[in-house]
Amino acid sequence: MRLRCSKAVDVKRDMPKAVLVRHYGRLAARYDRRWQAYLAQTLGHALEALRVSGTERILDVGCGTGEFARMAVERFPKVSIVGVDAAPAMVGLAHTKLTGCSRATFQMSRAEALPFGAEEFDAVVCANTLHHLPAPRQALQEWVRVLRPGGRLIVVDWCRDFWHCRLMHYWVKLFDRTYTAMLRLGELRKLAEEFGLTVERADRFMAKPFYGMLCVSARKASLPAPLARQADEDVEPIAQHETSGSP
């Protein structure tokens, strides 16, 4: 299987940053209203995949207007969420939307170069943004870097497995310069595995009005691979313990 966007890309040089900023600058104010039904479904799906129960710290990459953050703090009462986005107008709206909520903060950043240290987050979510990224491999590497061992990456995006999405690809490419490409479910799964993640959930679904979507939830190993192997070897077979005390 060949990954379409796997070539090394100088993101700073290649990313149409000015185009992106202009595009979302124009769209920001009506974004939530225009995409209401689509957002409810796709972000609902991401929330479902996320399903956390404690004080997890979550990073939302390409957070847009902060709609996912709004839904997440409402649904999960103890989590905190940091949203990053490259478009100032979207980050501005996210700030406004969640003013007064100390559990949600937002800042400007590119998805491929995050201003965070290693292993800072319990989960990284990227919804409806992967199709903008010229270097998904670079981005994924960065997301895995900021994920703590045992943490989860959740990606929801358009999916090239649907025939009408393959047609849509050419249409969107013509009219939207912020669009790069969409992946197949298998491509994203393979990419996640290349970075040492274990894919726990991978599914496709439809979002209104006609978008074919993918959702992948993948977990970073709890221990570095060599240590994990060693830990496995160190465990004595359970049967020995169980039978040793029996009559």
Ligand X SMILES: C[S@@+](CC[C@H](N)C(=O)[O-])C[C@H]1O[C@@H](n2cnc3c(N)ncnc32)[C@H](O)[C@@H]1O
Minimal distance, residue 141 CB to ligand X, in Å: 14
Question: At its nearest, how many Å lie between ligand X and the CB of residue 45?
Answer: 11
Distance, CA of 204 to CA of 155 (rounded, Å): 12
| Nearest by Cα to 189 from 206, 201, 180 | 201
Longest dimension (CA), the chain: 77
**Distances from the Cα of 145 to the Cαs of 48, 149, 179, 189, in angstroms?**
24, 10, 25, 17
Minimum CB distance to ligand X smaller for 90 or for 185: 90
Minimum Å gap between C-beta 243 and ligand X is 53
167: left (phi over 0), alpha (psi -120 to 50) or beta: alpha
Among 69, 82, 122, 129, binds ligand X (CB under 6 A): 129
Q: Which of residues 5, 71, 111, 188 is near ligand X by CB under 6 A?
A: 111
Task: Check if the beta carbon of residue 190 is closer than 8 Å to that of residue 7.
Answer: no
Task: Tell me: does residue 213 bind ligand X (CB under 6 A).
Answer: no
Span of 1-9, 124-132, 161-169, 214-222 interacting with ligand X by CB under 6 A: 124-132
The DSSP output letter for 222 is: S
Give, in degrees to the nearest 5, the angle at Cα 21 between 147 and 178: 80
Half-sphere exposure of 224 (CA within 13 A, CB side): 4
Residue nearest ligand X, Cβ-based:
64
CB of 146 to ligand X, least distance (A): 14
Q: Applying CB under 6 A, which part among 72-80, 84-92, 189-197, 235-243 lies near ligand X?
A: 84-92
Q: Could you say whether residue 142 binds ligand X (CB under 6 A)?
A: no
> Between 157 and 187, whose beta carbon lies closer to ligand X?
157
**Residue 98, interface with ligand X (CB under 6 A)?**
no
Contacting positions for ligand X (CB under 6 A): 15, 20, 24, 39, 43, 62-64, 67-68, 85-87, 90, 110-112, 127-129, 132-133
